[in-house]
Amino acid sequence: MTSSGAAADAARSDVRELIVAKGHSVDNARAAVARLEAAFADGSLVRTPSLDLFLGDLMRALEQDEGEKLGGKSAEAARFILRAIDRELDRA
């Protein structure tokens, strides 16, 4: 079931803005995940099976050890997964 209403529209818009924001894609990905989790928590958006899968993949791409900097493949993976999240947002 797709979420509707002003809160759902605002959440989708916020996430999409974070996905294309200037800055490092890893930082953008973390901000987008935080906004999505907030939207799920307040009921603005509903989790879809695909979004859960994409978010799980994204979190694995963003894992890092203490003091480790992410870049290269992590950033590329984050951009790729964020595009999939963007496509799925209208179903959330």
Where in the chain are the domains?
6-91
Q: What is the pLDDT of residue 65?
A: 47
Helices (H), the chain: 6-20, 25-42, 49-62, 73-88
Whether pLDDT at 71 is above 80: no
Q: What is the pLDDT of residue 3?
A: 84
Q: Is the pLDDT of residue 81 over 80?
A: yes
Q: What is the predicted pLDDT for the residue at 48?
A: 94
Average pLDDT for 7-14: 95
pLDDT at 69 over 70: no
Contacts of 17 (CB under 8 A, 6+ apart): none
Question: How many CA atoms lie less than 13 Å away from 34 in the CB half-sphere?
Answer: 7
Query: Which of residues 77 and 38 earns the better pLDDT score?
Result: 38
